[in-house]
């Protein structure tokens, strides 16, 4: 794309259950694929570019995500938003659009991302709940898990909570908030009577980091891991890596603050 360009920040929501993640990949349906196909139709051309605020894994949903759209023509924002939503599938929604300047960077500008991990245990859930909430068959010690969640707060080396890091991966990360509470945000008539939510907030996360943290806490609740093991995992490399990555369908990118 050369010449005059216009930059737009678009806020999105999507249910990730039937998608192979956000990022476009060959031969599979992704959120980026349906966004770009819809943009091709609505704009009437392919001379545009989409840059996401981040990438979610297969089956992960987003209550608030963003893309930056680069186009050559200035858009009538409200007309575009209406047409865009009209042509998007029912599990993807554009919430807002605003013009930004060339200095704005949708990847670097976000300050805090909030992830929620929803889960329940005990009696099996209604099948309709499967896209939104992870079910654990075993009994969980929730009070122990609440204490364990607090260990993650602060700046730590999360080397035990990343999937296949590269040599360039920055392992030291800051978790601004980590708490396990009753889920009173996402509810439905077919949800279990009692469900829980792990809330994790921070400026940036590595691949599978939040799901590995959730998995370690679930195994703490099961009695597979001890509190001491969790404490040590934040100060030294484990000889036996954590292998339980909590199922993706319980994870929601809940908000992004700029």
Q: pLDDT tens string for the chain (258 positions)?
A: 567 899 999 999 999 999 999 999 999 999 999 999 999 999 999 999 999 999 899 999 999 999 999 999 999 999 999 999 999 999 999 999 999 999 999 988 878 999 999 999 999 999 999 999 999 999 999 999 999 999 999 999 999 999 988 889 999 999 999 999 999 999 999 999 999 999 999 999 999 999 999 999 999 999 999 999 999 999 999 988 899 999 999 999 999 999
**Does 231 lie in the same domain as 153?**
yes
pTM for the predicted model, two decimal places: 0.94
Paired strand residues for 44: none
Rounded alpha-carbon distances, angstroms, from residue 133 to 76, 101, 185, 222: 38, 38, 12, 18
**Does 234 lie in the same domain as 138?**
yes
115 is in an annotated binding site: yes
Q: Which residue has the tokens 């930056």?
A: 68
Residue 8's nearest CA partner among 92, 79, 60, 112 is 79
117, 211 contact by CB (below 8 A): yes
Rounded to the nearest 10°, the torsion over CA 73, 77, 78, 80 is 40
Kindly report the CATH number assigned to the domain that includes residue 39.
Answer: 3.30.70.580
- Domain membership flag for residue 106: no
**Does 239 lie in the same domain as 122?**
yes
Tell me whether strands 112-121 and 134-136 are parallel, antiparallel or unpaired.
parallel
Q: HEC profile for 88-124? A: CCCCEEEEEEEEECCCCCCCCCCCEEEEEEEEEECCC
Kindly report the CATH number assigned to the domain that includes residue 204.
Answer: 3.30.70.660
pLDDT at residue 2, rounded to an integer: 62
Domain holding 87, by residue range, is 6-100
Q: Which residues are catalytic?
A: 57
The rounded distance, in Å, linking the Cα atoms of 137 and 227 is 21
**Does 221 lie in the same domain as 116?**
yes
Residue 199's nearest CA partner among 189, 213, 219 is 213
Which tokens hold the place of 21?
């993640």
Residue 37: its H or E element: helix 31-43
Rounded alpha-carbon distances, angstroms, from residue 93 to 51, 65, 85, 89, 159: 17, 10, 6, 8, 35
Which tokens hold the place of 42?
């609505």
- Domain membership flag for residue 105: no
- Domain membership flag for residue 157: yes
């Amino acid at each position: 794309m050369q010449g005059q360009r216009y930059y737009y920040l678009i806020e999105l929501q999507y249910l990730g259950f039937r998608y192979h993640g956000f990022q476009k990949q060959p031969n599979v349906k992704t959120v980026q694929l349906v966004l770009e196909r819809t943009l091709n139709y609505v704009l009437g051309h392919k001379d545009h570019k989409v840059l996401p605020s981040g990438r979610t894994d297969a089956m992960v949903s987003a209550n608030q995500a963003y893309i930056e759209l680069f186009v050559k023509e200035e858009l009538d924002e409200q007309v575009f938003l209406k047409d865009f939503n009209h042509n998007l599938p029912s599990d993807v929604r554009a919430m807002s659009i605003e013009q930004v300047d060339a200095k704005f960077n949708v990847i670097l500008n976000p300050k805090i991302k909030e992830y929620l991990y929803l889960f329940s245990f005990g009696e099996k859930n209604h099948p309709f709940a499967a896209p939104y909430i992870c079910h654990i068959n075993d009994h969980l010690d929730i009070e122990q898990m609440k204490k364990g969640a607090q260990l993650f707060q602060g700046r730590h080396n999360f080397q035990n909570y990343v999937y296949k890091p590269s040599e360039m991966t920055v392992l030291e990360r800051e978790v601004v908030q980590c708490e396990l509470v009753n889920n009173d945000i996402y509810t439905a008539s077919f949800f279990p009577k009692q469900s829980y939510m792990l809330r994790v907030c921070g400026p940036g996360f590595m691949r599978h980091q939040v799901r590995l943290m959730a998995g370690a806490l679930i195994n703490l609740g099961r009695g597979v891991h001890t509190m001491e093991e969790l404490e040590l995992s934040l100060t030294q490399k484990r000889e036996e890596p954590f292998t339980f990555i909590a199922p993706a369908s319980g994870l929601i990118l809940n908000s992004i603050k700029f």
